[in-house]
Structure 1
Amino acid sequence: MHLLSIVIPVYNVQKYITKCINSILGQIKENPNVELIIVDDGSPDNSIDIIKPLIESCSNVRLISQQNKGLSEARNVGLSYSKGEYVWFIDSDDYISNDIMEGILGELDGGIDMLQLNWQTVFENNKETIINHDYNFKKGIVSGLEAFLNNLVPIQVQFTIFRRDFLIENRLRFYPGIYHEDSEFKPRAIYLAKSIKFHEPIVYNYLQRLNGSITSSFKIKNGLDTMIVAKNLKNFYQNTIRENIAQRKMRQYIALFYNSLLYGYNQLSKEEKRILYTKMKENRYIFREMIKSGHLKYVLEGVLLSLNLNMGISAYSLIKHTK
């Protein structure tokens, strides 16, 4: 049995995949404690042709192919094939830092459910690197509840290593076919974790593509999937979370996430707005979650949206654009 399984879903990343794979192979080649599982999610470009020569002499690397099903299903498939005690989902356009693997393996002692990693954001134009984030990596070990209540762990899945049995025992899988899969998955994982350890060295390089901002890429599917995520998280806290303070925290998270829908609404076409507006009316329960969040901003938004959906959307847009 391996100590760590690294899972990399691959789809249309021929520009980035060599750097990603090589950053890992140089540190795990022939290492019996680590396996690399590459999931070809039906990639139509040359990504797999680039990968095959890189891994042909590596005994601890497996390439699995499937028809295109999306990032969530590719991760789920990688998890099902993994044999490691821990699993690390790495995005195929990112890369890991040099000489970091032994330090990570030394942290994986079997007694923690999650290892939270430190990272930096690297811009595609190579003009800027940002390490400036608000997470304290000197916390040591905390409970999932403490991490959840105090925003100690970011939502991005690739910055965290998970104990495989923890995921399996809690039936934690990625919801298929949606954008924002991390936002649906990670809050549940954080809350359910008994122990989360923090690893301070910067080990992960998160690539910010030039066209990657929400302001330039919001689509109607973003909005529709936001409501799926909100519904799933509402069901989760109603069925699983018992602490009132944690229920309120999840409502605040749902409200914060729903704000991304309100922010992107005016970027849609008239017909797309009509479709999304109808869905928002069908999912009015989200406004009640905002009102019950206990956070003044979200309470006011929820009240306005409940009273008059058009007025609530207009008020949100007006406030955003006058800041």
Structure 2
Amino acid sequence: MKLSIIVPVYNVEQYLPKCVSSLLNQGLKDEDYEILLINDGSTDHSLSLCTDYAERYANIRVFSQPNSGVGIARNKGIDNALGEYIAFVDSDDYLLQNGMYEVLKPIWNRRDVDVVRYFSDYDGRKVKPIVNQIDYDAPALEMIRRGGLPAFIWTFLYRRAFLNENKIRFKNYRFSEDVLFVSTVFLHHPYVVSNQANIYRYVLREGSAINKRNKEHSRICTDHNLLSYEDVMRELMTSIFHEDEEALSACLSSINFKKQSTWTRIFTSDYNRSEFKQLKNRIVKNKFYPFMVWNQEPRVKIQCFLMNLSLYNFCIYKLCSGIFDYIIVPYYINRIKKKVWETE
């Protein structure tokens, strides 16, 4: 079997049919791939939908677990997968028709490829013909030198044997587990083929991470983002890229760029003075703060200066937090939504 597509499922009865329908139309023979639906303690009708799919389609299997988070659900999928390669698809997203066939076709008979990259876009954008063109075919080193560490798990196929040989699994974090996973994969220096095929569609919906900005959610997100950052830094310092100045610099730049997400969560966490002091001590100790520029553009230097200033002390933090939470966040979320929903 060539491919296992792992789909964590949690209370997505409204979105699951479109997702599964797209996965059943990938231009592959049933015996060449499987769809693993991992029910993560859903309380709606998601599990019954999954069971129905498994009864109707021989290449769909269902597993169920108490609600444990998307990372643990994906691990269950990896542990039960049969395919040579593994793909991750979120249950509210979908793939373009025949997308996986186009991605797999160039590497079907090869045995040296550990990771295959493809591309994604937001749902609602005009669908263009899939361009099947290889733009990278080499060990990961040069790709990392060019762009640092990737951030999204859903635009890659992972050779199952590579994950098992290197004991790579998702940590039990509720947030940033995907960033840590894909960073760990690349820090083990896989052989990578990149295909320009743009086949994954990300659906922005109410309830998705970009819309969650309450205090409790932001605090958990901040804590898990910092845990993920600490893990990535440990992996980086023991990887072969630590000895390559250009690759190390690119990795650190990409890590610094990703810190912006945690910075925004700190503002919506609404820490009191004592909590802020504890957080500040933590991010200084683990070298998360002060923020370092991720490129030399004047705009980035100014942004980095403002980010550092905003966490300089508690009074400045509270002032900036109010501005950020009540003015900047609503403006940018609405702007992002408008941009996503506009078709090209």
Query: Fold conserved (TM > 0.5)?
Result: yes
Give the Cα–Cα distance (whole angstroms) in 2 for the partners of residues 56 and 29 of structure 1. 19
Aligned counterpart for 1:193 among listed residues 179, 189, 192:
189
Q: Residue 159 of structure 1 corresponds to which residue in structure 2?
A: 155
Specify the code of the residue in structure 2 equivalent to 1:201.
Answer: A
Report the CA distance shift for 1:196/1:301 in structure 2 as closer, same or farther (over 3 A): farther
Instruction: Please say which of residues 47-56 and 74-83 is displaced more in the overlay.
Output: 47-56
Give the Cα–Cα distance (whole angstroms) in 2 for the partners of residues 294 and 49 of structure 1. 47
Q: Residue 285 of structure 2 corresponds to which residue in structure 1?
A: 285
Report the CA distance shift for 1:246/1:140 in structure 2 as closer, same or farther (over 3 A): closer
Specify the code of the residue in structure 2 equivalent to 1:57.
Answer: R
Report the CA distance shift for 1:319/1:237 in structure 2 as closer, same or farther (over 3 A): farther
Q: How does 1:255-270 map to 2 (within 5 A)?
A: 255-270=256-271
Q: Does residue 253 in structure 1 map to residue 254 in structure 2?
A: yes
Report the CA distance shift for 1:28/1:138 in structure 2 as closer, same or farther (over 3 A): closer
Q: CA deviation at 1:204?
A: 1.4
TM-score (norm. length: structure 2): 0.77
Kept in 2: contact 1:28–1:34 (CA 8 A): no
Paired residue secondary structure (1:247): helix
Q: How does 1:1-323 map to 2 (within 5 A)?
A: 2-27=1-26, 31-108=30-107, 109-122=110-123, 128-129=124-125, 139-151=135-147, 154-210=150-206, 212=208, 214=210, 216-217=212-213, 219-240=218-239, 241-271=242-272, 274-275=274-275, 277-287=277-287, 297=301, 308-310=312-314, 313=317
Kept in 2: contact 1:304–1:311 (CA 8 A): no
Specify the code of the residue in structure 2 equivalent to 1:261.
Answer: T
Specify the code of the residue in structure 1 equivalent to 2:256.
Answer: A
Report the CA distance shift for 1:177/1:318 in structure 2 as closer, same or farther (over 3 A): closer
Report the CA distance shift for 1:31/1:211 in structure 2 as closer, same or farther (over 3 A): closer
Give the Cα–Cα distance (whole angstroms) in 1 for the partners of residues 127 and 245 of structure 2. 34
Instruction: Please say which of residues 211-220 and 5-14 is displaced more in the overlay.
Output: 211-220
Specify the code of the residue in structure 1 equivalent to 2:287.
Answer: F
Q: CA deviation at 1:167?
A: 1.2
Q: RMSD between aligned alpha carbons?
A: 3.4
Paired residue secondary structure (1:129): coil
Kept in 2: contact 1:6–1:36 (CA 8 A): yes
Give the Cα–Cα distance (whole angstroms) in 1 for the partners of residues 28 and 207 of structure 2. 34
Kept in 2: contact 1:3–1:85 (CA 8 A): yes
Kept in 2: contact 1:112–1:196 (CA 8 A): yes
Q: Residue 334 of structure 2 corresponds to which residue in structure 1?
A: none
Structure 2, unaligned stretches of length 5 or more? 329-344
Give the Cα–Cα distance (whole angstroms) in 2 for the partners of residues 49 and 117 of structure 1. 32
Paired residue secondary structure (2:30): coil
Kept in 1: contact 2:168–2:185 (CA 8 A): yes
Q: CA deviation at 1:295?
A: 5.3
Instruction: Please say which of residues 12-21 and 280-289 is displaced more in the overlay.
Output: 280-289
Percent of matched pairs sharing the same residue: 22
Kept in 2: contact 1:178–1:225 (CA 8 A): yes
Q: CA deviation at 1:302?
A: 9.2
Q: CA deviation at 1:26?
A: 3.7
Cα deviations by residue, 1:45-71 (Å, 9 ceiling, x for unpaired): 111112222231322221111111100
Give the Cα–Cα distance (whole angstroms) in 1 for the partners of residues 87 and 277 of structure 2. 38
Q: CA deviation at 1:174?
A: 1.0
TM-score (norm. length: structure 1): 0.82
Specify the code of the residue in structure 2 equivalent to 1:47.
Answer: S
Give the Cα–Cα distance (whole angstroms) in 2 for the partners of residues 70 and 6 of structure 1. 18
Specify the code of the residue in structure 1 equivalent to 2:113.
Answer: I
Q: CA deviation at 1:105?
A: 3.0
Report the CA distance shift for 1:314/1:138 in structure 2 as closer, same or farther (over 3 A): farther
